[in-house]
Amino acid sequence: MSLLELDDLSVTYRIAAGEVPAVRGVSLALAPGEALGVVGESGSGKSTLALALLRLLPRDALVSGRILLGGEDVLTMNWGRLRAVRWAEASIVFQGAQHALNPVQRIGDQIAEPLLVHRLASPARSRSRVAELLEQVGLPAWRSRSYPHELSGGQRQRVMIAMALACEPRLIIADEPTTALDLMVQAQVLTLIRELVASQEISLLMISHDLSVLADLCDRLAVMYAGRVVETGPSKGEFSHPYSRALAAAFPTVGDPTSRLAPQGLPGDPPDPMELPTGCTFHPRCPVALDTCSAVSIDLRRVDERRTAACVLVGEDAC
């Protein structure tokens, strides 16, 4: 059974100018222990998707579909159950999350908080658990007595990861967890996440605009464009959808310095969600679009055993 299953998930923000359809009919599944990457350009709906998973969206956002976590629908569970699920069953690490640390509370107390709130450890046991967690994320135990300003950005992000791990959740959602860090520290934190996920039975849903980072870290990728998933498949292997292919060409491969020599930019800009093109929303930027693409939008369909794509040019029924 899947640990996480999204079924036709849609999110629409309501703003003064009208409605912003940020996520449109996304269906995805994540197996226990699997690492799934969600990639797409800015504005494709990745963060909205991440926030929806733990019902962290603004109250007036319209959400429909189902989000099944261990078979239970997050969208319909009551507040008590939702509080129990956050941290303990699924936790989230945001971009620049280190700024979320309380500046006047010691690191150790902040890491212990979810353990105490969820009554998963006594105050005495929580102290030894904090030391364990700090060690897991590569920080010495004495750091538990430090205040956030005494740590570097990379160390603070490690603290956030320790907090996310504290209650031993089955799922970690990481939304651009290293974007605010410099390149060297980014690589260290990504290696840490990879090691933690590999050594424990944790599922990872990792969000990034950087395909090369995700390809390196995840088993499978879902490519988002204008609020929809346009391709899913193994992270190693050739993409099928023209958007995924363009995205792959735009990013150098991690660990392959020669590929940095010729990254091609992706032409044009993603559409405004309030003025989506007709048919396939990628057609105005697509190098291989047919006349029909401005009129016809198709759902994800099978390309091979492990890959699906939403393009009239690929799959068994390709034009």
Residues that bind ligand ATP (CB under 6 A): 13, 15, 20, 22, 40, 42-48, 58, 209, 273
Least distance from C-beta 253 to ligand ATP, angstroms?
A: 21
End-to-end CA distance of the chain: 35
Work out how close the CB of 37 gets to ligand ATP at its nearest, in angstroms, rounded to a whole number: 13
The nearer residue to ligand ATP, 39 or 151, going by C-beta atoms, is 39
Nearer to ligand ATP, 20 or 115 (CB): 20
Question: Given the complex with ligand ATP, which of 33 and 284 has the nearer CB atom?
Answer: 284
**C-alpha–C-alpha distance, residues 40 and 159, integer Å:** 27
Answer yes or no: are the C-beta atoms of 163 and 176 closer than 8 Å: no
Nearest CB to ligand ATP, comparing residues 45 and 233:
45
Q: Give the nearest distance from C-beta 229 to ligand ATP in angstroms.
A: 12
Could you tell me which residues come within 8 angstroms of residue 94 by beta carbon, excluding any fewer than 6 positions away?
A: 100, 160, 175, 176, 177
Helix (H) or strand (E) holding 204: strand 203-208
* Least spacing, CB of residue 20 vs ligand ATP, in Å: 4
Among residues 42 and 199, whose Cβ is nearest to ligand ATP?
42
| 179: DSSP letter | T
**Residues whose CB falls within 8 Å of the CB of residue 188, separated by 6 or more in sequence, listed in order:** 138, 154
C-alpha–C-alpha distance, residues 193 and 204, integer Å: 9
Could you tell me the smallest distance in angstroms from the CB atom of residue 216 to ligand ATP? 19
